[in-house]
Every structure is written in C-alpha cells, then in structure tokens.
Amino acid sequence: MRLYTVVVYLFLYAPIAIIALFSFNAGRHASQLQGFSTQWYARALKNPFVMDALETSLIVAFVSATLASVLGTLAAVGLQGIRGPARTVFDAIIYVAVMIPGIVIGIATLIALVTVFEVLNPWLAALWPEGAQPPRLSMGIGSLIAAHTMFTMALVIIIVRARLGTLEQALAEASADLYATPLGTFRQVTLPLIAPAILAGFLLSFTFSFDDFIIAFFVAGSETTLPIYVFSSIRRGVTPEINAIGTMVMVASLVLLIVAQLILRRGPRR
Amino acid sequence: MTRQERNWLLVAPAGAWFLVMLVLPLSVVLVFSFGERGPAGGYVPAFTLEQYANLPARLTAFKNTLILAPLGTLAALLIAYPLAYQLAVRTDPKWKTILLVLVIVPFWTSILIRSYAWIFILGGRGLPALLEAIGIEGVRLIYTPLAVTIGIVYGYLPLMVFPIYVALDRLDKRLLEASSDLGARPFRTFLQVTLPLSIPGVATGCLLVFILLMGEFLIPALLGGGKVFFVGNALVDLFLQSRNWAFGSAVAFTLIVIMLVTVTIYMRLIARLRLGRDDAQIM
C-alpha cells in the first residue's frame, strides 16, 4: 500500500520535475541534458511575444476575477431573499454555466458576438458623426473578459452562497435590532464573515482565467494569451523556452496557492 | 425601496451578464444548428434538419469521446481510490493534510503544460527510447488511445482523489472497529462498510471528471496527434478551420444533449443506490 502511494506521487510529480529539469538544459535538444544554463529563462523573459501574452493574460485574469467577485457576491447576497420561480430559473442558469463544457461556451460566445457585432457595426457607423472614424466592435480583450467573467461569476456565487448558508440569521437580526441600516449590517456583519469565501472565489477565478485555453482560443480574436502562445509553440515543436515558461508559471501558481492558504487560515480566526 | 426591490437590484447585474453571455449564445447555437452553411462559411438562416442528418460524418469523434471519457473516468477512479483510502484511513493525521495538498497542487498548475510534459515522456525519445535500450523495440506510445488515457488520468486524478478522500475521511472509524470486533476480516469490512459509505465521494468524483472529459480538447489534441480525437477537436476544426457554423452548432448541441441525458441517468442511478442503502440500514 505504501509503495503504491509512492508510485502515484511519482506519477504526479515526475512529469513536472522533467519539465523543470529540462528548462535548465544548456542544449537546444529536448532529449539529452547538456549542462546547466538559465539561458532559456532569459530568452523567454526577453521575448516580446511572451511578455505581451503574459500581460494580456494578467489583465484579463485580474479584471474578470474582480468583476466576478463583486457581481457574484452581490448576486449571492441578493439571491438569499429571492424565492419562487425566479430563483429556480437563476439556479438553473448557474448550474448550466458550470456544467456546459468550456469549448461549447467558447464557440457559442464566438458565433453569438460575431453575429451581434455584424448587426451593430453598421448602426454605429450610421450614428457616428460625419468624418470621424466610427468604432468597430470586434472580438478581443473585451469579449475575453466578458466570457471569463460569466463563467467565474457562477463559481463565485456557488462559493459565497455556501458560506452565506452557514451564517447565523440571528446575527443579521441582532444587528437590525440595534438599529443598523441594511447596508450597515452588510458592511459590518455579513461582509467580514464572508470575506474569506470571496477571496477564495477571487483566487479560483484568477487561476481559472489565467490557465484557460479553450474559451480564449475562440473568443480572444487577434489577442494572444499565455496559454494560446504556449499551445501554438507546442504545435510548432518542443522548445526549452516553453519548459522555462511552464516552470515559471507553475512556481507562480504555487506561490499564489500558498499565500491564499495563509490568508484563508487567518481569516476565520478574527 | 422595499426589501424585494433591493434583492432584485443586487441580482440584476449578474442576471444581465448571464443573459447576454450565456443564455443568448446558447440560444444562438440552437438556432444556428437548424440553419445552413454560407458559401464562404459562417451561417445562412434556414430551417432544416440537414445538419443533424449529417451528424454521422463526425461519428468517430462521438465514438471516441463516448468510449474514452467513461474509460478514462474509470481508470482515474481505480488509481485514485486506493490513494484516497491510504490517505484518509491509513495515514497519520499529522501528515494527512500535507499529503492531500501534494495531490491537489498539480491540479492548480496549467493542464496545458502538464499534458505537454507527456509529449516529452511518451514521444520517440522518451520512454520508447528507454525501452529500446533494454531490448524492447518498436513500442509506439504517443498519438495512441493509451497516450490519451494516460493524459486523462494524469490531468484529472486530483479531481477524483479529493471527493473520495473527503467521503472516507468523514467515515466514523468506530464503524471499522465495530466490524472487526464482530469478526469481519479486513477485506469484508472494506466491502461491506467502507466501500458503501464512500459511494457519495466516488459518485461526485466520477461526475466531475466525466463532465470535463466530455468537452475535452487539449489532451487529445496534444497526445492524440490528430489520430485520437474527441468531439471537442471536431468542434475546433468545424468552427476555426472549415467555418461551418451550422453543422458545428448541431454537433455542439448534440454534445450538450448527450451530456444532459447521461448525467441525468447517472444521478438517478446514484440516487437509487443510496435509497437501497438506506433501506438496508432500516432493516
């Protein structure tokens, strides 16, 4: 049994270790180690395509995770007081959002937005003042943020609602009895209690958005995110540069995960 | 402002977002699936069942998905269960959390990069070269169903281990003692006590992995090399290469229907299984 556990951990970590090992390979060839070097890290960090893709990924992940956390939390709080058919419909939508495969969300968003833009663009051009260049709606960073926000907002609602469900109703009632306004109760009682859940939702959303390939592949238009860059590089052949990028991304996610754990652990004690 | 109005105001932005970015796109897919392909790709309005009649053209993709998704889920389950059991039941509580976190960590890193590692390992200069060195020649691993299955198990193992671990960890250990006090051998205790009580965890793990696998694109794209492809790969081809939106929409909608049907049947079965167990307990 013990041996079995060791073998499974080896299975989980050997591929990661191999990538990290070869990222320090001095040679170009992926098959044999030819001495230690950090040149691939230097190359990756100096490659403008990599840095552009990284910047796009970080912006999209940050903006969509922020929007998802704020709007998702508001919705989770509002949903508590809503019953009846409207609630059933909303719950069904959240269920659909997390269950539909990312690839279907990607293509559906692509064809819907392209179709809507085709209708709107002539209108915009007609309404725009003579002489000025009318804006053209097209797929890009905006559609990417909108699509990621949709999916991650569903995650935030699920996480925050689970936390809200464990809170004692009595606390909010006590606060109201002490003449706190609803907003005051929310800010001083509810919000501090659900803050760890919101943070967990934010981090999950950020990671999802940063790692997502399939939705971005369809809706990013001419923009390139880091996963899209990595995917197209892999298609062109294995290079040590990808190993270096992969190792950096893994280390960064790990640090983020540890930081999140530390914050979450401190949260409930207050 | 009344309480009800305030609640609606809070829900409104999220509701509008879901409407525009989820309900509208999915409706477009449904409408387009009854349409026709334009001369230069894209979509021409129509009402025809032609696209659905044409589905057999992508039969291989559906067949591969419907064989490899359940098979991959089963393989992940068979590997995950003993590990979850070892961690939850047999491990010193001091080490439990850290060992569990070590299983989850890979899941937090990009599946793209983790799958890519296997191109390396299974490719001509990886394991096959190693096997050749010890005298086993002509082994081909990459771009086979086996490679895709390995990729699936590797990618989704953490997702399978976690719910099973939670179910086994919650299990009251006194039940195991009681069973052994009553003279049951360890294996019988496992079959009659541990295994039935861990069914909810197993059910959740399988459901999560299966749902994600039905829409999988990356693992077959990287490790199947165009030879082993899923519905997801067919969809990428239809929308980004041949730009056949109408047919692609029909394929996508069929995939959703197949998923909904299998998941519903699956949940019914699980519910019945649990019901059966409750009866047994009452007796």
**For chain B, which residues make up each domain, given as ranges?**
58-282
Residue B155 has pLDDT above 60, yes or no: yes
Q: How close does chain A come to B219, measured CA to CA in Å? A: 11
Residues 6+ away with beta carbon under 8 Å from A49: A224, A229
pLDDT digits (tens, 9 = 90+) for B107-136: 877 888 889 889 888 987 788 888 888 888
Contact A97 B106 (CB under 8 A): no
Quote the ipTM score. 0.91
Q: What angle do CA B190, B191, B196 make, to 5 degrees?
A: 95
Average pLDDT over residues A128-157: 91
- Report the sign of the C-alpha dihedral through residues B82, B83, B84, B87, in that order: positive
pLDDT band per the 50, 70, 90 thresholds, residue B2: confident
Q: How many domains does chain A have?
A: 2
Chain A residue closest to B121 (CA)?
A: A15
Q: Does A214 touch chain B (CB under 8 A)?
A: yes
Do A63 and A15 have their domain in common? no
Nearest-Cα distance to chain B for A260, in Å, is 12
The answer to whether A157 and A75 are in contact (CB under 8 A) is yes
Pairwise CA distance, residues B33 & A161, whole Å: 35
For residue A270, pLDDT beyond 70: no
Q: Is residue A42 part of a domain?
A: no
CA distance A191 to B224: 48
CB-side exposure of B210: number of CA atoms within 13 Å? Answer: 22
| Interface contact A101-B6, CB threshold 8 A | no
Shortest alpha-carbon distance between residue B279 and chain A (Å) = 30
From B32, B102, B217, residue closest to A103, measured CB to CB: B217
Distance of alpha carbon B192 from alpha carbon B171, whole angstroms: 13
Judge if A84 and A206 occupy the same domain. Answer: yes
Quote the pLDDT of residue A2. Answer: 84
Q: Which of residues 126-165 of A touch B (CB under 8 A)?
A: 146-147, 149-150, 153-154, 157
Q: A72: which chain B residues are within 8 Å (Cβ-Cβ)?
A: 14
Q: pLDDT value at position B50?
A: 92
Domain span holding position A163: 48-112+138-269
In a domain, A123, yes or no: no
Average pLDDT, chain A: 89
Whether A77 contacts chain B with CB within 8 A: yes
| A146 located within any domain | yes
Mean pLDDT of B194-222: 93
Q: What is the distance between the alpha carbons of residues B7 and B77, in angstroms, rounded to a whole number?
A: 42
Same domain? A20 vs A56: no
For A71, the closest chain B residue by CA position comes to B14
A66 in contact with chain B, both atoms CB, cutoff 8 A: no
Highest mean pLDDT among A163-177, B51-65, B167-181: B51-65
Whether residue A55 is found in the same domain as residue A143:
yes
Say whether pLDDT at B83 is over 50: yes
* Same domain flag for A142 and A29: no
Q: How far B276 CA sits from the closest chain A CA (Å)?
A: 27
Identify the CATH homologous superfamily for domain B58-282.
MetI-like (1.10.3720.10)
Give per-residue pLDDT as tens, A74-126: 999 999 888 889 999 999 999 999 989 999 999 999 999 999 999 999 988 88
Does residue A127 lie within any of the structural domains?
no
Instruction: With CB atoms and an 8 Å threshold, state whether B7 touches A80.
Output: yes
Indicate which of A77, A94, A111 best probes the interface with B, i.e. most B CBs within 10 Å of its own CB: A111
- State the Cα–Cα distance between residues B120 and B62, nearest whole angstrom: 28
- My answer on whether A90 and A224 are in the same domain is yes
d(CA A28, CA A202): 39
For residue A267, what pLDDT is reported? Answer: 54
Helix A48-80 and helix B3-18, axial crossing angle in degrees, nearest 10: 150
A103 and B108: CB-CB below 8 Å? no
A4 inside 8 A of chain B by CB? yes
Q: Give A50→chain B minimum CA distance, Å.
A: 15
CB contact under 8 A, A250 and B113: yes
DSSP string spanning chain A? -HHHHHHHHHHHHHHHHHHHHHHTBSSS-SSS---B--HHHHHHHH-HHHHHHHHHHHHHHHHHHHHHHHHHHHHHHHHHT--SHHHHHHHHHHHHHHHS-HHHHHHHHHHHHHHHHHHHHHHHHHHSPTTS------SSHHHHHHHHHHHHHHHHHHHHHHHHHHS-HHHHHHHHHTT--HHHHIIIIIHHHHHHHHHHHHHHHHHHHHH--HHHHHH-TT---HHHHHHHHHHH---HHHHHHHHHHHHHHHHHHHHHHHHHHHGGG-
Is residue A20 in a domain?
yes
Question: Are the Cβ atoms of B13 and A74 closer than 8 angstroms?
Answer: yes
B44 strand-pairing partners: B36
pLDDT tens string B238-254: 999 889 999 999 999 99
With beta carbons less than 8 A apart as the criterion, state whether B127 and A228 touch.
no
Residue B110: which of A15, A110, A227 has the nearest Cβ?
A227
**Same-domain check for residues A57 and A161:** yes
Query: A144 in a domain, yes or no?
Result: yes
Sign, Cα dihedral of A212, A213, A218, A223: positive
The CATH number that applies at residue A214 is 1.10.3720.10
Indicate yes or no: CB of A107 within 8 angstroms of CB of B6: no
